[in-house]
Amino acid sequence: MDQPLQRASLVEPPEGDGTPAPINLKDPALYINRELSWLEFNQRVLAQAQDSRHPLLERVKFLAITGTNLDEFFMIRVATTMRRFRAGVEDVAPDGYTTGQQLEAMRSCAHVMLDALASTWRMLRERLEQEQIRLLDPQRWTPEIHEYLNGYFSRDICPVLTPLAFDPGHPFPFISNLSKNFAVVVRHAGRIKFARVKVPDVLPRFVPLPEALGHGPHAFVFLEDVVRANIHELFPGTQVHGAHLFRIVRDADLALDDEEDVEDAEDLLEFVDRSLRLLRRGPISLLQVEADMPARVLDILVENFGVTEDVVVRSSERLGFGDWHQLARIHRPDLKDPPFSARALWRSDEDAEAIFDLIRYQDVLVHHPFESFATVETFLRWWARWQKQNADAIEEMRTKHGTQILRTPPDILIAFLKTWDRMAAEESAKNPFFKRVLESQREYASKVVPAKRLYAPPYSFAANYYWPEDTRKSAAKGKAAPVDKK
């Protein structure tokens, strides 16, 4: 993943008379696979998390962005390719991949990236520890921490937990997209039973510990560790033999496969609403489980989810790195980039004449996000005010000073266009570059302008509808009469 895809030479060296060989546009070496290219992009995001030149919490933020991006990759791109593969679509893309080959390559590269995420987190965790930001595993919990977390579980976590058993008499519960869950193995009345407990997503993933417990102002434990440590409270009268964390990613791509999908619905909103309900139970494109999950428990999950082994990934590290955005929000300004204030090209109270004088004589490029969008807002505000000033000035000239304002007659405008055509023809005859540009613009306009007449009603139509022109004060010929709005 660290190296870009290798491509063959696109053009053979010239032979004989020096004429290059024609390029074969069907050569797969000319094309980059879109999905693998996206993974290379996400690898560059992860590289920012690995770059020691960035402040530490900024690196944690990049780790979280990489994790969120990878979730979306499985939800959309992997899921879409899986759907095509299940449908038997085996056409060969211009880059040379069949659907099956592309799916295999996507999974292989994405699994490598999941491992890279885990190793990057281990490295960052050591750096955080050095900066007195501690993530305590259960092995480091003191009796005082246990006591505090037991109270936190009873007070805040337990009320939002709903354990659900599954066996031949109880169907397998619904597992929502991106949720983290425990597959719990219990013994009750001499029989082994299974249950599912969802880790609540309404509570913070990183549970802060009071400073009085002796680990400083920035000490945290993982929410799933607190749930696991107290999970026996949810199953009184049983023996809990194990609680194994897993996480799923579902197909979340809202695709219109054919027009009938929309035509059968009463309207588009109904179609979208129906599709979103179906997506809640979309096919699973990734099943992440803890590395030590017993084979029997994994087999039960695979069977009930109706998936194959190739969507299963065992992980020796934490699951769902997208949650690390919460960790990046810790108040440690010394471990973050300085706050950035975008530069404004002109002040909000800048004189309008100064703004228009500037853009009259030179172009102005506003480069977001480094230059503030307030620059555009100020320009639009002054442009609207300038339009109003012109309108007020015309009204004052007509009503106060009795000035008669006439529209340029059509024959003058036609004479102007004819003059331009003549001058353009003369310039084209002596300037080949001008001729090429002019012909290109005319070819473009010959298609765009007639089309625009069809989909864009003339500005004057709406203007005349709401504000009919006073024909007594207009000298223009062929004027459209005011529209009768009755």
Binned at pLDDT 50, 70 and 90, residue 297 comes out as: very high
On the question of pLDDT at 22 being above 90, the answer is no
pLDDT at 88: 85
Q: Say which residues have a Cβ less than 8 Å from residue 40's Cβ, sequence separation at least 6.
A: 1, 4, 5
pLDDT at 154: 94
Closest by CA to 301, choosing from 246, 343, 259, is 246
Q: Look at residue 208 and give its three-state secondary structure.
A: strand
Higher pLDDT among residues 262 and 372, named by residue: 372
Q: What is the enclosing helix (H) or strand (E) of 197?
A: strand 191-198
pLDDT at 452: 85
Domain ranges of the chain: 28-255+278-335, 342-405
Output the six-digit token pair for 218: 């920035």
Q: Say which residues have a Cβ less than 8 Å from residue 455's Cβ, sequence separation at least 6.
A: none
pLDDT at 265: 47
Q: Domain 28-255+278-335: which CATH class?
A: alpha beta
Query: Rounded mean pLDDT of 320-349?
Result: 89
Q: Are 245 and 289 in contact (CB under 8 A)?
A: yes
DSSP line for 23-73: P-TT-GGG---HHHHHHHHHHHHHHHHH-TTS-HHHHHHHHHHHHHHHHHI
On the question of pLDDT at 11 being above 50, the answer is no
- pLDDT tens sequence across 382-436: 888 888 888 999 999 989 998 988 888 999 999 999 999 999 999 999 999 999 9
- pLDDT tens sequence across 118-166: 999 999 999 999 999 999 999 999 999 999 999 999 999 999 998 998 8
pTM: 0.72
The angle at the Cα of 309, spanning 289 to 200, to the nearest 5 degrees, equals 30
Question: Beta 284-290 vs 312-315: how paired, if at all?
Answer: parallel
pLDDT at 484: 47
**Could you give the CA distance from residue 138 to residue 134 in angstroms, rounded to a whole number?**
13
Binned at pLDDT 50, 70 and 90, residue 345 comes out as: confident
Binned at pLDDT 50, 70 and 90, residue 6 comes out as: very low
Closest by CA to 294, choosing from 248, 242, 228, 249, is 242
On the question of pLDDT at 365 being above 90, the answer is no
Higher pLDDT among residues 471 and 419, named by residue: 419
The CB-side HSE value for 484 (13 A sphere, CA atoms) comes to 1
pLDDT at 422: 94
The CB-side HSE value for 292 (13 A sphere, CA atoms) comes to 5
- pLDDT tens sequence across 163-196: 998 876 778 889 999 999 999 999 988 888 899 9
Query: Rounded mean pLDDT of 369-382?
Result: 83
The amino acid occupying position 99 is T
Count CB atoms within 10 A of the CB of residue 402: 7
Q: Which residue has the tokens 């693998």?
A: 36
Q: Are 255 and 276 in contact (CB under 8 A)?
A: no
On the question of pLDDT at 476 being above 50, the answer is no
Q: Are 220 and 136 in contact (CB under 8 A)?
A: yes
DSSP line for 244-271: EEEEEEE-------STHHHHTSSSHHHH
The angle at the Cα of 381, spanning 378 to 382, to the nearest 5 degrees, equals 85
- What residues pair up with 247 in beta bridges, in sequence order? 180, 288
